[in-house]
Structure 1
Amino acid sequence: MAMTAVARDTVFALRRQIAKIEGTLPERLEAPAGASLDTHVPHNTDLTFVRRGLAVVTPDAFLQTGAARLDGALSGGLPKSALNEIHGTETRDAGAVAGFALSLISLILKQGPRLPVLWVGTSEIFREAGFPYARGLHSLFGIEPEQLLFSEAPKLVDALWVAEEAARMTALAAVILEIRGNPQRLDLTATRRLHARAQAAGRPVFLLRQAAEPEPTAAPVRLILSPAPAAARETIAGPLAGSIGRPAFTITIGKSRTALPGQFTLEWNPDERSFEERWPQKEWTENSVPVVSASRRGKDPAAAAGAVLAFPAVGSPATGDEPSPGERAAHLSPRRTG
């Protein structure tokens, strides 16, 4: 486990060094006094300057999750006009991956126009993972059922075609493409087409991958997601024992523009429609349980001082049963010398 962590940090360090050499690493710059880098951007606006393309990007180009540490590691958040990968470590994590994707859609609809969202998948993935519960869309994410459209394709090639055509449409708030495993057709060329059309339309495309291994794609961000245990519900009197609180997700950055590693646990607040980061100490205190149940009669008092209980030694002969000198064990006999 330690070697895996060291290898991962080494890979991120190499990626960051390569990004610096190629000039693709985003850098925060402050415009000089009395000058502006772009006539269309106010002077007091926080800018992100990408050296290679000489492009100026405003903070509005990123979808901020609300978790400061995660947004900082992603250099502002998830890019809105791009392809973003969300990996589920196992097939049984499909519900958590779908919940996280719907949380991101809720943030998009909260910040911008409430346009419909298209969810594309194959018959296999919908048969295995199912569809979101319509009544839960509004209560948990503030999404009306008629805003979420589904396209079920019989084959992967059909799902890719639908996703590519939908990615260029500005009448959609976002496009979700859900794929299982590592199909050969979902190669670098296919993801480049999705990423290019998302950039042209200015809309995000979320690629949900269930039980898939990381592989080269055109997506600038890859998040590896797994469900986290829910904490107890908060009440006025404190945490309610035995209750189930807000949904939580464990997020690991597998790929990003800044090549910064990190792992975060986020809770989704359905009332505020926002994420909140759960700190490790809070998670430990809320989910900790005693290893051994306490005695019903209270603590067991220590024995009184001086009380000694004698037990016969195991295997010791009784009185009168001692072996004769000739029957003693060899290791008990005196050692011969000379």
Structure 2
Amino acid sequence: MGREAGSETGGEAGGEAGGEAGTGGDKSDQTGYLVAAERVAVSRVVHAQVRAVERPEARARIAGLLRDLAVDEGDPVEDGQIIARVEPVKLDARLAVAKAKRAQAETRQNRTRRALARAEELHADQVMSQADLDDAREAAVSADNAVDAADSEVDTLLARRRRGDIPAPATGWVMEVMPANGSQMQPGALIARIAAAPAVIRVAVPERHLDRLQEAMALTLETASGPQEAELVHLYPQVHQGRVEADLRLPEDQPPLPLGRRVAVRLRLEEVERFLVPERLISVRHGLTFVERADHGRTLIQLGARRGARMTVLSGLRTGDRLVAP
């Protein structure tokens, strides 16, 4: 990340590119091509990488065996989605016993309620004593309390089971899955790492270009689908090895880029004056580039970046030179 790319040397050497400004045309006539400085936009290409700003972790909350692991590396997840479950040892057996006790308590409750209703009828007909009615009422209350206790135990065990559910901590993509199904887990054990969405494009540019970096419209991503304007979402304050790092983001209507992918970022700098010469007027001899001046003959030049059908000339020419075909 941060390696500059380009082809020109001298001035903004090693990284100029961009469109032409000014006349921009071929100024050839019968007497040749008249050299004149033109203002052109200069840009610099740096390499960036798609990264996740946050990488939250999904961890076990209780001890037990890992069950129902439902994700793998690269899978998309939603915040709160259950991606696995930790099952406490012997929980199912304890839950089955608790449910059986609750069923027994409910049976007793139904029996004592029927007995109480019958006792109230007999007491109203003055067939049963008040003491027997009180005993029936106490039996019914005791049965109700037993059912409440059994429900509480079942609810406690079910809550413990729910604590074994492992939700995704954020919406994003699964970066790493640590254990396998059936593994013994302890409280706090790492299950998976998540790359939280949205991902950003981390770029590093030379410190001298900080002012231009802060201009959102000066940033363009060179993607497979063509240039895309990028939004500057965060500028890091620390300068590291002469470079400033920043996070960029594509517009919301653009598809996300894969994590770890390297992309080229074009940073528009400013407009400078350059000599542009049609490529047909340039000749190459033994690895050196020349042009033919009408008054001084063959002249050695140094080339920069290509701009359409013309080449940037960094040295060897002056304003007013007239070039002819070699």
> Do the structures match in fold with TM over 0.5?
no
Higher CA-based Rg: 2
- Identify, as 1 or 2, the structure richer in helix: 1
The TM-score by the shorter chain falls in which range? under 0.3
TM-score, normalisation: structure 1 = 0.19
TM-score, normalisation: structure 2 = 0.20
- Identify, as 1 or 2, the structure richer in strand: 2
Greater RCO (Cα-Cα under 8 Å, separation 6 or more): 2
